[in-house]
Amino acid sequence: MSGSRTPTVGVHAFPKDVRLRYTPRASDVESVRTLVTETGFFRPDEISIAAELVEECLKSGDESGYHFVMAQKEGNLAGYGCFGPIPCTLTSYDIYWIAVAPKFQGKGLGKCILREMERLIREKGGMRVYVETSTQQGYASTRMFYERCGYRCEAVLDDFYEPGDGKAIYSCRVNNQS
């Protein structure tokens, strides 16, 4: 998908001044790096990976396996999501990133980006979505976000990222076909 549009996702309408793009631009590498840094959640190595995924998509397009939903407001990146098919599966997808600029957090933009990624995954034949996040207390709001959006914690891997920082794996069925 290319271009931009003013989206409506189910009952979760994006604010009318938010435009979506599905194809990253070269300027998004730094915009994503800045946005992810400003959230205050991520380590420097994680911030680099967020920017690298945009670079890989710019270099290889759909062959990269990374797909984006870029939400712009007033010409600036207000939030974004990145997802892709899980290798060696037929209908499972990972959500790699959802990040919203601090000044737009708590206003439903993250949920709208998530719902738009789910819609795109369904269009691609996806049936189940997986997302992972930290078990640290600082990520409690992230875990609650996924739970409020209908995701279920499937597993917790203790000490995954480092001692005292486990990985919580969430999933959600996005297509009711068997």
Q: Look at 106 and 36; give whichever has higher pLDDT.
A: 36
Rounded to two decimals, what is the model's pTM? 0.89
Q: What is the pLDDT of residue 18?
A: 87
Arithmetic mean of pLDDT, 109-125: 96
Reduced to 3 states (helix: H, G, I; strand: E, B; else coil), residue 64 is helix
Measured in whole angstroms, the distance separating CA 116 from the mean position of its chain's CA atoms is: 10
Q: What is the pLDDT of residue 13?
A: 63
Q: What is the pLDDT of residue 74?
A: 84
Query: Count of H helices and E strands in the chain?
Result: 4, 10
pLDDT tens digits, one per residue of 58-73: 999 999 999 999 999 8
**Which overall architecture, per CATH, does domain 4-173 show?**
3-Layer(aba) Sandwich (3.40)
Closest CA to 118 of 25, 3, 7: 7
Give the pairing type, strands 76-85 and 67-73: antiparallel
Residue spans of the domains in the chain: they are: 4-173
Give the pairing type, strands 12-13 and 67-73: unpaired
Q: Which residue has the tokens 């076909």?
A: 177
